[in-house]
Amino acid sequence: MNVLVFFALTLQGMTEDGTFLLEHGAMFVPKVVEDGEYYRLFTSMFLHFGFEHLMNNMVTLVLLGWNLEIEVGKIKFLLIYILSGLGGNILSAWYEVRTMDYTISAGASGAIYGIIGALLYIAMRNRGRIGDISGKGLVFMLIISLYYGFTSSSVDNLAHIGGLAIGFVSGILLYWKCNRKDSAFSKS
């Protein structure tokens, strides 16, 4: 979906341009709060500021996402992805309302951090591994990613942190139920 949206918008204009993305659903708190454009909490997850932004997110999504999908299935994967992206955007919007420091934002990274959060929980439950990924490797990647975010000026760190937290909690709720069903079947 992210790639399709990116190429469709590329045919219409410059995806690096914040105003262009704002016209097509990017997150901007005054539009959400004052104009009631709540859909931006969702649509901004599928928009990206240029090809490099898209590729960074999609490579991470592919490398990590399939591991989560194998563990929880397509529906729960999609639920974690969407809830994490929304949660990240809501935390970021809350902060911007409090500080009145508004910026146009877009990208799938809040949702992707949610995938990382869910994978961290599942790795904890599975003695430090999930598929071919180690929990230590995930933590290392998370630290590097957060460091990069906090040392860069154009990164929505609260969307990342919010997505990570929602993903971790979603992992607890959805993976627990998944395992609970499996254990019920194995007892009969």
44: DSSP letter: G
Q: Compute φ and ψ for 105, nearest 5 degrees.
A: -135, 155
Cβ pair 57, 112 in contact under 8 A: yes
SS3 per residue for 101-122: CCCCECCCHHHHHHHHHHHHHH
Active site residue: 24, 105, 160, 170, which one?
160
Contact of 139 with 89, CB cutoff 8 Å: no
Q: Is 109 a catalytic residue?
A: yes
Catalytic residue among 84, 109, 145, 170: 109
The residues, any chain, with a CB within 8 Å of residue 175's CB and separated by 6 or more, are: 71, 72, 118, 121, 122, 125
Catalytic residue list? 109, 160
